[in-house]
Amino acid sequence: MKDKLNKIVSEALSQIDGSEHLEKLNEIKVAYLGKKGELTQVLKSMKDVAAEDRPKVGQMVNEARTSIEERIEKKKKDFEKKVLEEKIKKETIDVTLPGKAPVIGHKHPNQIALEDVEDIFVGMGYQVVEGPEVEYDYYNFEALNIPANHPAKDEQDTFYITSDIVLRTQTSSVQVHEMEKGKLPIRMIAPGRVFRSDEVDATHSPSFNQIEGLVIDKNVTFADLKGTLAEFAKKMFGEDTKVRFRPHHFPFTEPSAEMDVSCFKCGGKGCRFCKGEGWIEILGCGMVHPRVLEMRDIDPDKYQGFAFGMGLERIALLKYEIDDMRLLYENDIRFLEQF
């Protein structure tokens, strides 16, 4: 009897140990401890056991039952632990995985270029000022020494609102507003939108941006203009940038010039970027015309000034090597994302 019990127990235990899931464990439980289970059968055969041996056999059967039950319980706990572990594993968050960054906006190339220009001039003590986009003919032309019938008026393809109100064709109009304030000296830059009835193409748009500059003080000379703009060019396009000034004509400056910078692609040797020239035109400039000062009651014998004006888009196109101005206005996110 003892051997039989030991055999049943050891078989049961090894089956329990080898079981792979909860259902199998239940099957084993039924097979040994159930109504028709092997151990139950043994219990049933107790009637054949001699009366004096019964307590001992009974104890043995109970012990066998307990050891099987305990092993089943232990195995069950193992299973539960395993299930829990797997669940935890599945639910863990790997905090080292890279997150999904929210999409944030980009600065427009115009804006980046504008901030660069502003930073440079603010660093030299200039103030950033603004003026109106809808302007009297007077501020846009007359006060800048461009009288009625002056050919420069036709050159600028003006949008007229009434016969004496225009969309400003140049930020030079802000020079007049600034002088009108009556405070000297002046050191200002004035960025802003200007309008000309131009057809849209790779280098033209009916609305674009300019940055105007004006300095008025005592003892201002062309050397100050050159020094200032040469310094600007270095800061904007790189320390090795050289500048050259070509005589030009603007009604509101005398003398007037256009400033070129040495090509920052080829360093001046000539390349596709500068169309073989080695130089790239950047801005117009000059000494403020005495008539412009006089119209604002500034005595040209006491005060002199220099002025300059540049196209913002032109600077942005050059700086970022963009070959079509229209890209700056289309606001295609795939284009803008690159800056």
Positions that interact with ligand DAH (CB under 6 A) = 170, 172, 212, 250, 253, 284-286, 307-309
Query: Tokens 């660093």 map to which residue?
Result: 123
Minimum CB separation of residue 255 from ligand DAH in Å reads 10
- DSSP bridge pairs for 281: 260
Q: Which of 177, 176, 171 is nearest to 207 (CA)?
A: 171
- Give the contacts of 166 (CB within 8 A, at least 6 positions apart): 134, 135, 136, 137, 140, 158, 159, 160
Report the distance separating Cα 158 and Cα 314, nearest Å.
20
Of residues 131 and 284, the one with the C-beta less far from ligand DAH:
284
Minimum CB separation of residue 211 from ligand DAH in Å reads 9
Minimum CB separation of residue 252 from ligand DAH in Å reads 6
Measured CA to CA in angstroms, residue 210 lies from 2, 233, 262 at distances of 107, 16, 21
Q: Which of 195, 145, 188 is nearest to 168 (CA)?
A: 195
Report the distance separating Cα 48 and Cα 96, nearest Å.
70
Q: Which of 312, 309, 307 is nearest to 328 (CA)?
A: 312
Of residues 25 and 225, the one with the C-beta less far from ligand DAH:
225
Minimum CB separation of residue 105 from ligand DAH in Å reads 31
Minimum CB separation of residue 309 from ligand DAH in Å reads 2
Report the distance separating Cα 227 and Cα 229, nearest Å.
6
Of residues 268 and 309, the one with the C-beta less far from ligand DAH:
309
Of residues 65 and 153, the one with the C-beta less far from ligand DAH:
153
CB 217 within 8 A of CB 305: yes
Minimum CB separation of residue 260 from ligand DAH in Å reads 14
Report the distance separating Cα 146 and Cα 23, nearest Å.
99
Of residues 241 and 253, the one with the C-beta less far from ligand DAH:
253
Of residues 206 and 267, the one with the C-beta less far from ligand DAH:
206
Minimum CB separation of residue 156 from ligand DAH in Å reads 7
Of residues 68 and 285, the one with the C-beta less far from ligand DAH:
285
- Which residue has its beta carbon closest to ligand DAH? 309
